Chains A and B, each alone.
Chain A
Amino acid sequence: MAAEVETTSEKTTGGALLRVSSDKIGRLMDLVGELSLSVSETINSPELADLDLMGFEAAAHRLSMIVREVQDAATELRLVPVGEVFRRLKRMIRELERETGKKIELVIKGDETAIDKLVADRLYDPLLHVVRNAADHGLEATTADRVAVGKSESGKITLAAAQVGSEVRIQVIDDGRGLNRDRILKKARERGLFGPEEEPENSAVWKVIFEPGFSTAEAVTTLSGRGVGMDVLNQTMKDLRGRIAVDSNPGEGTAVSLHIPVSLAFLDSILLRLGEKLFTVPVDDIQEIVKPGGSDTVSISADHDTEMLKLRGVFVPVCRLERFYRGMRQELKPLSQMVAIIFNTANGAIAVPVDEVLDRQQVVMKPLTGALSSVRASWGCALLPSGEVAIVLDCERLALESAR
């Protein structure tokens, strides 16, 4: 399938394909990042500030445009069709058929969708677990069971990929039994994830199947049921800054969707300032940005001065970065003088107050290594076009760790 992609691209570009080591591409990406920073440093140099330079302005504008195009082209170098991963899974389906004794038809859609090679390399294992689950638990146990409910003899598993904005959505859809709400809810209650009387919404119930060690399979087979696969999936999605969604209808099947950023190198983010420190968060993580009024906040002295922000009648816990991180300014500004960023996390919504929301920017992400590895609740640091450095907040871990 990817061979098709390759031949078509060969026809359209007229050139042969080159095999290039990822180190070289990484080096090029680094250089392009440096180039773009140097250019913006030069153009925004304070020494030019008061000069009237008509010709320079035009040339500088053109230079910036070219640099942006070079950046895009460099990013594209690392993109590969997701079909490569799908093809490996296709081979696995034959094996699954043998092991389960079920007939499985695999449908592949959108295999030409482009994705960062680094992401593609890490997708196989987690996807394999989702596909295994679909084949083992999703599809009906026997052909007779399927025929009895009026379905075709062979079960269908669809692998679909599509680009949605700056994300790639990869779906594994089966046309089997669907998730069993009662069984999952029972198990979740046993584990204390829900109260005995609680009747959570379907989406909340489906989410618990991704809890560590959670498995409702009666028997542990070689295929699945050990609850380990989902942990691998969770960890990989966390590393790739992705998220998982599940949709299921009884009798009709289950769809597991993985949403992953197209490229790990650049991040579409909102820049925030708190005191003299800069933070940035992926745009998609932000639910909304609010300006709290004086009467919207409650401080609970009985619980270490926990602050709550009232948002359309619902109280959202406030997570102060000044308290969470070491080395921040000591005095806490009243919330009414700040801007609150609302994040919707797996642990519920949290409000993070900052002094200022600055800008929406494409930033280059760098890992936090060495002396910076102690920074908690962060994806890495971001190099801003201005040359400044901001910490990329991981709101999931922020919510988790600040709750402790």
Chain B
Amino acid sequence: MTQPQAVETPTDLADLHGVDADSIDNMYLTFAVGEEFYAVAIAMVTEIVGMQRIMSVPDVPKYIKGVINLRGKVIPLLDVRLRFGMDERPNDDRTVVIVLEVDDAPVGLIVDRVSEVVDIPTDRIDRAGAFGGGNASSIVKGLGRIDERVAILIDVPVMLSNADLDLSKIKVD
């Protein structure tokens, strides 16, 4: 797995920069999908846009709903609900697209709603290895504790890879 962003190794960065509460490397954009609360590293996020007209394309996984034309850039949209095996839901006025830049390629995540940008210091992130069996290809990078809530930190490159979320396999492991 390529590690395109410095935020992939937060522990090393903490050593370099000291514990800096304002460091962008500890900043995450949180969003809701169903009842669950997720987060992606803010360094990857380029913008957040409202729902646009989606044009469907052939030969892509089901969870890629199509592409949008964002000011002359063609951006594929990944429906997070479909990717996580949740039920599809009609878009409403809070449905938004989080546009990310991953490995020099843009991708938009369709999520139910965005909530806020939060600071999650490295020492408040619990490794996901405990339930992923140390599986390097787990979509969940860790669990971030924010006050009373927990945000599930997503490994975006893994989410974009075609590796299917095979829950049965994880149980066997």
Contacts and interface: CB of A to CB of B under 8 A. Distances in A.
Interface of A: 30, 33-34, 37-38, 276-278, 321, 325-328, 364, 366, 369-372, 374-376, 378, 381, 383, 387-389, 391
Interface string B50-67: 000001111111101001
B168 interface: no
B76 interface: yes
B106 A381 contact: no
Question: Which of B57, B61, B64, B67 gathers most chain A CB within 10 Å?
Answer: B57
A38 B55 CA distance: 18
B32 interface: no
Contacts of B73: 366
B90 interface: no
Nearest to B71: A34
Contact of A375 (B58, B103, B106): B58
Given A374-B162, A375-B57, A391-B58, 10 more contacts: A276-B56, A277-B56, A326-B58, A326-B60, A327-B60, A364-B72, A369-B104, A369-B106, A370-B102, A375-B60
Interface in B55-89: 55-62, 64, 67, 69, 71-74, 76, 78
Given A366-B74, A381-B74, A389-B74, A374 B69 contact: no
Contact of A327 (B59, B72, B74): B59
Contact of A389 (B69, B104, B106): B69
Nearest to A386: B69
Contact of B60 (A366, A371, A383): A371
28 contacts: A37-B69, A277-B57, A277-B58, A325-B58, A326-B58, A326-B59, A327-B56, A327-B57, A364-B72, A366-B73, A366-B74, A369-B104, A370-B106, A370-B160, A371-B60, A371-B76, A372-B60, A372-B76, A375-B57, A375-B58, A376-B59, A381-B57, A381-B67, A383-B69, A387-B69, A388-B55, A389-B67, A389-B69
Given A34-B72, A277-B56, A374 B61 contact: yes
Contacts of B163: none
Nearest to B69: A387
Nearest to B64: A371
B105 interface: yes
Contacts of A321: 58
B114 interface: no
B107 interface: yes
A297 B164 CA distance: 40
B55 A389 contact: yes
B165 to A, nearest CB: 16
B72 A383 contact: yes
B59 A370 contact: no
Contacts of B106: 369-370
Contacts of A366: 73-74
Contacts of A326: 58-60
A278 B55 contact: yes
Interface string B152-165: 00000000101000
B121 to A, nearest CB: 30
Interface of B: 55-62, 64, 67, 69, 71-74, 76, 78, 102-107, 160, 162
Contacts of A383: 69, 72, 74
B64 to A, nearest CB: 5
B168 to A, nearest CB: 23
A33 B76 CA distance: 19
Nearest to A274: B58
A335 B36 CA distance: 48
Contacts of B104: 369
B75 to A, nearest CB: 9
Contacts of B56: 276-277, 327
B78 A371 contact: yes
Nearest to A32: B72
Question: Which of B61, B69, B162 gathers most chain A CB within 10 Å?
Answer: B69
Contacts of B74: 366, 372, 381, 383, 389
A38 B72 CA distance: 9
A293 B78 CA distance: 41
Contacts of A276: 56
A388 B57 contact: no
B58 A389 contact: no
A37 B72 CA distance: 7
Nearest to A378: B59
Contact of A30 (B72, B105, B107): B72
Question: Which of A33, A321, A327, A328 gathers most chain B CB within 10 Å?
Answer: A327
Contacts of A387: 69
Identify the 9 closest CB pairs spanning chains A and B, nearest first: A370-B105, A325-B58, A34-B72, A369-B105, A371-B76, A375-B59, A325-B59, A389-B55, A33-B72
Nearest to A325: B58
